[in-house]
Amino acid sequence: MRVAGKLTITDWKSLERKLNIEVNENWGNAFHFFEERIRTRYLEPIQAILDMNKYEGEGFAIVNLQCSLIETIESFINGWIYSNKTKDGFIKNKWHHKKKIVKNAENKDLTNIDIFNSFFSNRSPIKELQICGEDFFRNVRCALLHETQTKSTWKIKKCSLATESYCESPTSKIIYRDQFQRDLERVIKDYKKAIIERKDFDEITSKDLRENFKAKFCHLSKQ
């Protein structure tokens, strides 16, 4: 079974045995699995839609995919694993990490809202935009997924002159789809550097970051 482009579960298991959290060797190859997974499933499809230049509403599909990419990136960074099975003591439809159900700041079970809050609060350059993760989740992510539209005052636009990926005014909150993709790819680039060079990443230590990455891919390789 393939887990990343043409890379298979067997490929990952062979590499996983060589990974040492404290040694940099082989971590570039490990991150290649992540790059191939998101390249084939997100980055290339997003770019293909961006290149259409029809301006007939394709921005909704772009941002919808970007929302899913955000959840993928943030769950990898934190080692959050979603389980919809009752197995090894895990409860159905829960996020867990290192065999424990993940709790948020209010000591409640982690939800998808918490994932977006974490991403928009912690990941540069996204956090500099000062977007409310819950607002984005409810009025962009869920609205696009369930009703093919944004809600409240959120809008999706294309503007080659925009320098920032987000603009807020008293009457609107605008996501510039191309620039937003640029910023997401910056997060991925910084994440790659932290993994390969064994550097802390925002609030996460290099040791935890690599352990989270390894645990996430090992989980995916069991599916």
Q: Report pLDDT digits (tens) over 160-194.
A: 999 999 999 999 999 999 999 999 999 999 999 99
Q: Report pLDDT digits (tens) over 28-63.
A: 999 999 999 999 999 999 999 999 988 889 999 999
Reported pTM: 0.93
Q: DSSP string of 147-159?
A: HSS--TTEEEE--
Q: Report pLDDT digits (tens) over 92-120.
A: 678 888 778 899 888 898 999 999 999 99
| Domain residue ranges in the chain | 2-150+187-220
